[in-house]
DNA sequence: GTCTATAGCCAGATAGAC
DNA sequence: GTCTATCTGGCTATAGAC
């Protein structure tokens, strides 16, 4: 098998295991088993558990971050932006549902692993949206709101149902299919809820 | 020293370590050091790491759950309920800021550890609020909304800023003091935001 | 590049003296 | 109840044959 295939198979297996068990709970043996290769090969390709973890973490950020900056940076009316965001971000997370909890846990363990590049990129995109919101408030087009709170609200309502899935599933007494339905509903519900809150009647 | 004091000292130290490192990342030695006792004593009082962890997890749930059910169960107008919830729940979490991330991570690792009692208690309280919301919608007192989405929204906006603190602090470029200020603002902001969204003008 | 075998370490748990 | 010393198992990592 070619180098690249093996390397990719390892990264895929490592992604599965690290994202569900976390850095500390993950076992190199389990990753090797999932990749159908020998444990020694993991070290041959990635040198150490730490380096393999870093590759997985970096990939996770690179899946979540570009879409986020892309949407809030796009030149379009605020309400459209909000609709696009909730729809495509909830869609994206549905395909990678372990990532948010993984990122949150690992970042709480060790906040330093956040890359500068991501923070700066987001900072720039967010500044544009800040201006957009502030201008609309000044022009009386929407109710007064701090852009920071607005974006936290949108992101929180989009992501939280994924990270709190086990507890929400239990207390709302939903099976897997019902919970998936609820997540689907949120693609439009969250946008409507936010727009209702800030629009002038 | 009395049994109870030692047992409590151990539980406090274990809470610190488990909540910041997680079950897998926690070390019995570190807990012993924090409690200023011998490692063997941990096993004398709690038998195993697993049992000590369960005690910590149970305590964490018992700190978060009663307040939650208490507020949503109280007989009072919906808007007051929302205001009380965001204010006192954000206040409570501020005093135990590691708990939400801890619960979320451990529940994703192993969803079975959720106690039945908590789920049932919450289920009962939530049913009352459900009726309240549905009646207000039918009477045209608030905009149409599914009670489930409403409660997810309120809880998400209250808790998310704590679990995503490292990433939000970085991208919003806030130091610790500024971030605390933002959390303080959310006690009223979240309630206002929600009420604006559902109230009829 | 891929495997087997093993080094070396570290953490949870316990035995046993006091 | 509290300590020291130690057992035991499991895990990362590597040496070395092919």
B104–A170 CB contact, under 8 Å: no
d(CA B18, CA B25): 8
- The CA–C1' separation of A43 and C15, in angstroms, is 39
Specify whether the backbone of B200 is left (phi greater than 0), alpha (psi in -120 to 50) or beta. beta
pLDDT in tens, A81-115: 999 999 999 999 999 999 999 999 999 999 999 98
- State how far the Cα of B68 lies from the Cα of B188, in Å rounded to an integer: 17
Share of chain A above pLDDT 70, in %: 99
| Residue B140, phi-psi category: left (phi > 0), alpha (psi -120 to 50), beta (remainder) | left
Nearest-Cα distance to chain A for B76, in Å, is 22
Domain ranges of chain A: 1-47, 57-198
Please give the pLDDT value at position A74: 92
**Does A104 lie at the interface with B, CB-CB under 8 angstroms?**
yes
**B172–chain A Cβ distance below 8 A for any pair:** yes
Q: Which CATH superfamily is domain B1-47 in?
A: Homeodomain-like (1.10.10.60)
A123/B184: higher pLDDT: B184
Is the model's pLDDT at A192 over the cut of 90? yes
Sign of CA dihedral A27, A107, A19, B119: positive
Residue B17 has pLDDT above 80, yes or no: yes
User: Looking at residue A158, what is its pLDDT?
Assistant: 98
A2 pLDDT higher than 80? no
Greatest Cα-to-Cα distance within chain B, rounded to the nearest angstrom: 65
For chain A, the 3-state helix, strand and coil shares in percent, each to the nearest 5, are 85, 0, 15
CB pairs under 8 A between A and B: 151
pLDDT at B201: 81
Average pLDDT rounded to a whole number, residues B183-194? 98
pLDDT of residue B1: 55
Q: Could you tell me the distance in Å between the CA of residue A3 and the C1' of nucleotide D10?
A: 30
* Secondary structure class of A106 (helix, strand, coil): helix
Contact of B163 with chain A, judged by CB distance below 8 Å, is answered with yes
Q: Which of A172, A186, A193 lies closest to B197 in CB terms?
A: A193
- B174: nearest CA partner in chain A: A148
- Report CA(B23)–C1'(D14) in Å, whole number: 29
Residue nearest to nucleotide D11 (CA to C1'): A27
> pLDDT tens digit string along B39-73?
999 999 999 999 999 999 999 999 999 999 999 99
How does pLDDT run across B137-160, given as a tens digit for each residue?
999 999 999 999 999 999 999 999
C1' (C8) to CA (B23) span, angstroms: 25
**Res. A8: pLDDT tops 80:** yes
pLDDT at B2 over 70: no
Does domain A57-198 fall under CATH 2.40.50.110? My reply is no
Are A102 and A18 in contact by the 8 Å Cβ rule? The answer is yes
Residue-wise pLDDT tens digits, A39-52:
999 999 999 999 99
Q: Which residues contact B33 (CB under 8 A, 6 or more apart)?
A: none
Q: Are A72 and A126 spatial neighbours (Cβ–Cβ below 8 Å)?
A: yes
Q: Is the pLDDT of residue B25 over 60?
A: yes
User: Which nucleotide lies nearest residue B3, CA to C1'?
Assistant: D1
Q: What is the mean pLDDT of residues A33-39?
A: 97
Q: Residue B4's pLDDT band (boundaries 50, 70, 90)?
A: confident
Nearest nt (C1') from B43 Cα? C13
On whether any CB of chain B is under 8 Å from the CB of A196, the answer is: yes
């Amino acid at each position: 098998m070619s180098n690249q295939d093996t390397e990719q198979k390892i990264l895929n297996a490592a992604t599965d295991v690290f994202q569900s068990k976390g850095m500390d709970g993950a076992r190199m043996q389990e990753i090797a088993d999932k990749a159908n290769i020998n444990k020694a090969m993991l070290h041959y390709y990635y040198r150490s558990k730490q380096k393999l973890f870093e590759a997985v973490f970096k990939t996770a950020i690179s899946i979540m971050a570009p879409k986020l900056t892309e949407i809030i940076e796009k030149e379009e009316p605020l309400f459209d932006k909000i609709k696009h965001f909730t729809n495509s971000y909830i869609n994206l997370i549905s395909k990678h549902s372990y990532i948010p909890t993984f990122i949150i846990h690992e970042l709480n363990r060790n906040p330093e692993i956040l890359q500068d590049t991501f923070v700066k990129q987001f900072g720039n995109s967010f500044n544009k949206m800040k201006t957009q919101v502030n201008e609309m408030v000044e022009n009386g087009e929407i109710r007064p709101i701090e852009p920071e709170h607005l974006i936290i609200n949108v992101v929180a309502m989009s992501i939280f149902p994924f990270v709190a899935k086990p507890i929400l599933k239990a207390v709302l007494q939903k099976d897997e299919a019902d919970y998936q339905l609820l997540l689907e509903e949120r693609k439009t519900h969250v946008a409507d809820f936010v727009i209702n809150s800030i629009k002038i009647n």
